[in-house]
Amino acid sequence: MVKNIVAKLKKEKLAGRSGSGFPTWLKWQLVKKEKAEKKFIICNGSEGEPGTFKDGFILQNYPNEVIEGIKIALEFLNNSTAYIYLRKDYYKRFGYKLKKLARNPAINIVKKQGGYLSGEETAICEAIEGKVALPRPKPPYPTQKGLWGYPTLVNNVETFYWVAKIAKNEYKNQRFFSISGDIKNPGVFQLPEKWTIKKVLQETKNIPNSDFFVQAGGGAAGEILLPNQLNRQIKGIATIIVFNRKKTDLFQLMKKWNNFFLRENCDKCTPCREGAFRIGEMLQKKKLDNKTLKDLFFVLDTTSLCPLGKIMVNPFKSLIENLL
């Protein structure tokens, strides 16, 4: 058994690698503290954010570490059971392999149900329980009441990988970056988490020769940044997409995002359902009305039911500010 795992996680300041950045040690401690006859662990391999493929890369290359991380959690939480929740293609590619590697009946492999939203932690609980995979209201948080109402630890595939590394004292404050777009050298890179976006692109030899812009933090949720705005660390998930400024049709790009949100949102709450629709309508007409957009962003940001509506604002707002 790994001794003082929480202290170690705390010392290394490991933060959730899904993009939320929640301190991992705190989450582990919260679940530990809950009194319950059993507990659950979910390894989130739903990786639904466009342009993001680092979890797939880790499952392909380092499945042992991921399993190791889950096993540490299983030991840490009394009477616990684990689920690895994999998006459909990962389930097909890695499901069998993971089950074999795990050699532990307490580790189960589950196929993702539904789309983008079903990768949200409470939606995963619904999915594993056999219900429609849509987010639950929070609180209660999964750490309090998750799977079947029991305290549940939900961490990303990459987080479990780093837990295993930290347990072996092999952690060097790195993270996995998914880099793609109009570049020479796309792929997944394991780099210091403190590096700025600029440094990441430089060191991976991905700074284009011609004028460009990037979307950082996810292919749907990420914000648009200009070359002079790259001296900062990435916010959210470590996904960078590089665009050739001349060649990119901005309306086409925005339509692509809009389509994504229209397809993936659940249509329950007014701002997200109608907001996404009205943004799409404006894009179709190629006529962006600033006042209306501002109003839509306001209600999306402050009143949408789940985070999806809120994150919808990022790409549009930053693109319009920077490029239009």
Partner 1 sequence: MKKGNFYIFINGKKIKARKGQTILEAARKNNIEIPTLCYHPDLKEKASCRVCVVEIKGKNRLVTSCSTKVQEGMEILTNSKRVKKARKINLELLFSQHKEECYDCVWQNNCQLLELAKKYKTIINRFEDRKTNYPVYQFGPAIIFDSSKCIDCRNCVEICEKQGVGFLEVKETKDHHLFKVAPRKDRVCVYCGQCLVHCPAGAFEGVGEFEEIEKPLNEKNKIVVVQFAPSIRTSIGEEFGMAYGEVVTGKIAAVLKKLGFDKVFDTSVGADFTTTEESKEIIERIKSNKNLPSLTSCCPAWVRYIEYYYPEFIHNLTTVRSPQVILGGLIKTYWAKKKRINPKNIVVVSIMPCIAKKYEITRPELKIKGLKPVDYVLTTRELARLIKRKKINFKKIKPKKLDNIFGNPSGAGVIYGASGGVMESAFRTTYEILTKKTLKRIDFKPVRGMKGIKKAEIKINGKVRKIAVVNGLGNAKKLLEEIKKNPKEKYTCIEVMACPGGCIGGGGQPIPTSEEIRKKRAESLYTIDKKKYIRKAHENPIVRKIYQEFLLKQSAIAHSVLHTSYSKKTKEKIRELK
Among 105, 137, 205, 285, binds partner 1 (CB under 8 A): 137
Burial zone of 284 (CB within 10 Å; 0-12 exposed, 13-18 middle, 19+ buried):
exposed
Indicate the SS3 state at residue 299. Answer: helix
Closest to partner 1 by CB, 61 or 302? 302
> What residues does 43 pair with on adjacent strands?
84, 155
Residue 78 binds partner 1 (CB under 8 A)? no
Closest to partner 1 by CB, 175 or 310? 310
Q: Which two tokens stand for residue 8?
A: 């170690």
Residue 233 binds partner 1 (CB under 8 A)? no
Q: What is the DSSP string of 6-75?
A: HHHHHHHT-B-TTTT--BHHHHHHHHHHS--S-EEEEEEE---STT--HHHHHHHH-HHHHHHHHHHHHH
CA-based angle 51:52:55, to the nearest 5? Answer: 160
Closest to partner 1 by CB, 149 or 192? 149
Part of the chain binding partner 1 (CB under 8 A), chosen from 184-192, 220-228, 248-256, 288-296: 288-296
Residue 20 binds partner 1 (CB under 8 A)? no
Measured between alpha carbons, how far is 193 from 61 in angstroms, rounded to an integer? 20
Part of the chain binding partner 1 (CB under 8 A), chosen from 144-152, 165-173, 175-183, 304-312: 304-312
Closest to partner 1 by CB, 25 or 297? 297
CB of 123 to partner 1, least distance (A): 16
Sheet containing strand 152-156, edge to edge, reads 107-111, 80-86, 39-45, 152-156
Among 299, 317, 320, 323, binds partner 1 (CB under 8 A): 299
Part of the chain binding partner 1 (CB under 8 A), chosen from 31-39, 44-52, 76-84, 268-276: 268-276
Measured between alpha carbons, how far is 235 from 216 in angstroms, rounded to an integer? 7
CA-based angle 211:215:216, to the nearest 5? Answer: 125
Part of the chain binding partner 1 (CB under 8 A), chosen from 40-48, 62-70, 172-180, 274-282: 274-282
Part of the chain binding partner 1 (CB under 8 A), chosen from 43-51, 122-130, 189-197, 302-310: 302-310
Residue 93 binds partner 1 (CB under 8 A)? no
Residue 295 binds partner 1 (CB under 8 A)? yes
CB of 224 to partner 1, least distance (A): 22
Q: What is the DSSP string of 235-299?
A: PSS-EEEEEETTT--HHHHHHHHHHHHHHHS-S-SHHHHHHHHHHHHHHHHT---HHHHHHHHHH
Residue 262 binds partner 1 (CB under 8 A)? yes
> What residues does 111 pair with on adjacent strands?
86
Among 23, 114, 208, 280, binds partner 1 (CB under 8 A): 280
Residue 296 binds partner 1 (CB under 8 A)? yes
323 phi and psi, to 5 degrees?
A: -120, -10
Among 58, 109, 157, 269, binds partner 1 (CB under 8 A): 269
E strand or H helix that includes residue 68: helix 63-76
Measured between alpha carbons, how far is 214 from 226 in angstroms, rounded to an integer? 7
Residue 310 binds partner 1 (CB under 8 A)? yes
CB of 267 to partner 1, least distance (A): 4
Q: Which two tokens stand for residue 60?
A: 């392909």
CB of 302 to partner 1, least distance (A): 5
Part of the chain binding partner 1 (CB under 8 A), chosen from 65-73, 105-113, 267-275, 312-320: 267-275
Using CB under 8 A, list all residues that contact partner 1.
137, 262-263, 267-271, 273-275, 277-278, 280, 292, 295-296, 298-299, 301-305, 310
